[in-house]
Amino acid sequence: MTAPIPHSPVAIVGGGQAGLSVSHHLAQRGIDHLVFEKHTAAHTWATQRWDTFCLVTPNWQCDLPGHRYDGPDPDGFMKKDEIVAYLQAFVAKVKPPIREGVAVTRVVRRDDGLFAVQTSDGDYTADEIVVASGGYHTPIIPRMAEKLPGAIAQIHSNQYRNPAQLPDGAVLVVGSGQSGAQIAEDLHLAGRRVHLAVGDAPRCARFYRGRDVVTWLADMGYYDMTVENHPLRDGVRDNTNHYVTGRDGGRDIDLRRFATEGMQLYGVLEDYADGAFRFRDNLKRALDQADRTYNSINAAIDTHIAKAGIAAPAQAPYTPVWEPDAPVTALPLEGSGITSILWCIGFTPDFRWLDASVFNGAGHPKHRRGVTAEAGISFIGLPWLNTWGSGRFGAVGRDAEHLAQVIEARLGTGDAAMRVAV
């Protein structure tokens, strides 16, 4: 006799804060489910962040289901170890039915309508699949990396821990999003010679007119604006996050100021050829655009303050403290002192294990608030799943509750939760 294949009404793929939040809300509804996590619950925060990593949003925004931040510093920014402890406490509260160390290798719908779930621990079936593995899977390393001399150490941002792990010498940081800007600062503060290839990431102030900018924006409803109500609609999901830091109590990241202190800035790195790095002539445009975004956010806060009649100290717009000279579009490796490169240019999604027509041409899921057009397949934990906070601790719980409601309605009150596939 063939042994029955274990069945769960809901299979959640990914045991980070998103998957755990869905688990919490399903448990609240009495819906049986399993969480599959190929490593350990919420492992990414402990294993893929640098030593000085901290949140860029205030602690008060940490509001996972039934697990609001209640520490002594709500306006501060939790450091890496504190974040890990916060999430470990969340796991202890949720008590999820989790299969740690179990990788999901393929999901496909069977002829009977159930999903076949193939894992490193055997086969399962499910009525519903919740993809909670995020969208940052495969580190982007450009093909030009293959042309660099083998003596140059190359790592991706998810491998960076501290300056001491890199060989002595100058470091080329490629990318100026949140990770690139913060890692460049980390190296700069450690006294390392830093070359930074600047991208098109915007920036924002840490504090403005007496308060954290995040607090102002929350009061203004920015974190509750949905994709449908955003001027860019679905296009907002392609936006790069603003660079800022919560380090040492929080401050701006001003690349121009770093330049006055010796950091070398360039435009986008386009190639390595004939022994030299080749940069795009876009540095001035990139810095100017980042500053325009910075000042436009502050101007929106000014308008809010004026309309609401709020008493707040005046503050002038940001003015550049440094301007680039003639653009440097080529930097010979020899003589530069560069001994290592940090690739901080993001990740590509990898959902090849999910055999379903729910993706666009770039491999990103097509959905509305996580619910796809194929019944039974949902996503959570993606940036701008529904609002700006969807990919953060602040709003993932609301998204999880919504998915739990959808799943509850789809499962109904029949025997879907009782089926066992054979």
Q: Which residues pair with 170 in a beta bridge?
A: 338
- pLDDT in tens for each of the 422 residues of the chain? 577 899 999 999 999 999 999 999 999 999 999 999 999 998 999 999 999 999 999 999 999 999 999 999 999 999 999 999 999 999 999 999 999 999 999 999 999 999 999 999 999 999 999 999 988 889 999 999 999 999 999 999 999 999 999 999 999 999 999 999 999 999 999 999 999 999 999 999 999 999 999 999 999 999 888 888 777 777 656 677 899 999 999 999 999 999 999 999 999 999 999 999 999 999 999 999 999 999 999 999 999 999 999 999 999 999 999 999 988 999 999 999 999 999 999 998 899 999 999 999 888 899 999 999 999 999 999 988 888 888 889 899 999 999 999 999 999 854 444 333 33
Q: In what order do the strands lie in the sheet with 194-197?
A: 153-156, 338-343, 170-174, 194-197, 264-266
Structural domains of the chain ordered from first start: 7-137+349-416 (3.50.50.60), 139-343 (3.50.50.60)
pTM for this model (two decimals): 0.94
Half-sphere CA count of 333, side-chain side, radius 13 A: 16
Q: CB–CB of 36/104 below 8 Å?
A: yes
Give the whole-angstrom CA distance, residue 416 versus residue 260: 64
373, 378, 383, 389: CA torsion to nearest 10? 110
The phi and psi torsions of 189 (rounded to 5 degrees) equal: -65, -25
